[in-house]
């Protein structure tokens, strides 16, 4: 076995975020052998971001060569709207690209075979294959960070709808609410994203915080303003998740992203709020993600293995999200 060159192949996984990129060399069991991190130069425009992605893939390829490992394929996941069928980055507010045939561009630049995917859907794929949703046929993975997006798995299949499915962050939860970056008003993102939680605390208290983690700590300490901001975020999440539950009937909801780092401080009130809002619907279990900020990168590796003939060796759950 050890002498079969195919068992020694690896894939590259790269998660391109609005602020930073996380890349890894991953073996057939989707275990990271090497990792790299670097900032996303989004202030310099989309072409600079494409350059940085290509550079990072080249760096990882060099690391694979140093270990004597052939690279099977690269998986690259990005935020915004991604059309998996056309392998195109359709739109990203954060990075500013539009209808960019990113996989083809990166293949041309690096000589690698590249599969493009969506960051949060890839995170959901990873949580289903390796994390909190292992073996679950109907799951909803929600990433709550700078923005909010969801990945849906129904009857074992990820739902994509041309890249437009899963935009939970833009479900309206406050009809008289604040304007959202998307152009609408009162979207979930305006009350429950990490950015919104930190901004709301600053506006109401007059005190600057470095991020939502500070608001979580103040909430736990009994700060009344922080508690009000936190409760509002939990209420918004419960509203949106109740809608999602009525439509999709997930057995399991997995909360990930920076805000979920708060653990029970977030899960308990959201779980209680969701329970209050449901009547006859099947009640989903609500749990915290297990893979942390690695989910996107591991998911990128998984889609790279799935895109070629090389199925990952851990494919054992039968969820359908781990392989064709």
Contact flags string 5-44 toward Zn ion, x per CB under 5 A: ----------------------------------------
Residues 263/152/320/25 CA torsion (nearest 10 deg): -60
Per CB under 5 A, the segment of 111-119, 179-187, 207-215, 246-254 that binds Zn ion is: 179-187
Count of positions on this chain that bind Zn ion (CB under 5 A): 5
- By CB under 5 A, residue 185 contacts Zn ion: no
Residue from 130, 180, 215, 302 in contact with Zn ion (CB under 5 A) = 180
Footprint of Zn ion on 47-106 (CB under 5 A)? none
| Shortest Å, Cβ 261 to Zn ion | 23
Give the nearer residue to Zn ion in terms of CB position, either 168 or 302. Answer: 168
Residue from 22, 160, 170, 235 in contact with Zn ion (CB under 5 A) = 170
Contact present, 84 and 117 (Cβ < 8 Å): yes
- Going by their DSSP bridges, the two strands 81-83 and 88-91 should be labelled as antiparallel
Distance CA 270, CA 2 (A): 48
**Using CB atoms within 10 A of its CB, is residue 30 exposed (0-12), middle (13-18) or buried (19+)?**
buried
| Shortest Å, Cβ 187 to Zn ion | 3
Contact present, 132 and 288 (Cβ < 8 Å): yes
Residue from 77, 187, 191, 209 in contact with Zn ion (CB under 5 A) = 187
Q: Is the dihedral of CA 295, 298, 300, 306 positive or negative?
A: negative
| Shortest Å, Cβ 185 to Zn ion | 8
| Shortest Å, Cβ 112 to Zn ion | 35
**Distance, C-alpha 148 to centroid of its chain:** 9
Contact present, 298 and 13 (Cβ < 8 Å): yes
Distance CA 170, CA 186 (A): 8
| Shortest Å, Cβ 190 to Zn ion | 7
Contact present, 230 and 219 (Cβ < 8 Å): yes
- By CB under 5 A, residue 184 contacts Zn ion: yes
- By CB under 5 A, residue 199 contacts Zn ion: no
Give the nearer residue to Zn ion in terms of CB position, either 41 or 177. Answer: 177
Per-residue tokens: 165: 């499915």
Give the nearer residue to Zn ion in terms of CB position, either 73 or 170. Answer: 170
Distance CA 15, CA 13 (A): 7
- By CB under 5 A, residue 172 contacts Zn ion: no
Per CB under 5 A, the segment of 181-189, 198-206, 233-241, 261-269 that binds Zn ion is: 181-189
| Shortest Å, Cβ 154 to Zn ion | 24
**Residues 6 or more apart from 193 whose CB is under 8 A from it?**
144, 145, 146, 147, 148, 169, 259
| Shortest Å, Cβ 173 to Zn ion | 10
DSSP 51-84: HHHHHHHHHHHHHHHHTT--EEEEEEEESSEEET
- By CB under 5 A, residue 228 contacts Zn ion: no
Give the nearer residue to Zn ion in terms of CB position, either 170 or 271. Answer: 170
- By CB under 5 A, residue 300 contacts Zn ion: no
Give the nearer residue to Zn ion in terms of CB position, either 184 or 227. Answer: 184
Residue from 104, 159, 182, 249 in contact with Zn ion (CB under 5 A) = 182
Q: Contact positions toward Zn ion, by CB under 5 A?
A: 170, 180, 182, 184, 187
């Amino acid at each position: 076995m050890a002498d079969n060159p195919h068992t020694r192949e690896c894939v590259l996984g790269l998660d391109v975020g609005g602020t930073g990129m996380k890349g890894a060399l991953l073996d057939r069991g989707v275990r990271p052998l090497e990792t790299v991190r670097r900032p996303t130069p989004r202030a310099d425009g989309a072409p600079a971001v494409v350059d940085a992605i290509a550079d990072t893939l080249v760096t990882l390829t060099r690391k694979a060569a140093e270990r004597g490992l052939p690279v099977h394929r690269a998986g690259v996941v990005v935020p915004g709207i991604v059309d998996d069928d056309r392998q195109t980055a359709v739109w990203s507010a954060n990075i500013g690209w539009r209808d960019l045939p990113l996989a083809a561009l990166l293949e041309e630049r690096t000589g690698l075979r590249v599969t493009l995917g969506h960051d949060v859907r890839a995170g959901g794929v990873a949580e289903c294959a390796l994390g909190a949703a292992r073996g679950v046929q109907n799951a909803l993975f929600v990433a709550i960070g700078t923005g909010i997006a969801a990945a849906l798995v129904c009857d074992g299949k990820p739902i994509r709808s041309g890249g437009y499915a899963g935009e939970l962050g833009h479900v309206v939860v406050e009809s008289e609410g604040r304007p959202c970056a998307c152009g609408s008003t009162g979207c979930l993102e305006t009350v429950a994203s990490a950015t919104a939680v930190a901004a709301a605390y600053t506006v109401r208290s007059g005190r600057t915080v470095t991020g939502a983690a500070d608001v979580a700590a103040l909430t736990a300490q009994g700060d009344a303003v922080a508690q009000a901001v936190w409760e509002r975020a939990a209420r918004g999440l419960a509203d949106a998740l109740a809608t999602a539950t009525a439509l999709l009937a997930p057995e399991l909801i997995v909360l990930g992203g920076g805000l979920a780092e708060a653990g029970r401080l977030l899960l308990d009130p959201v779980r209680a709020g969701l329970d209050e809002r449901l009547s006859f619907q099947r009640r989903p279990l609500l749990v915290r993600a297990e893979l942390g900020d690695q989910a996107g990168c591991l998911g990128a590796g998984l889609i790279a293995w799935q895109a070629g003939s090389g199925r990952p060796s851990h494919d054992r759950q039968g969820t359908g999200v781990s392989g064709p």
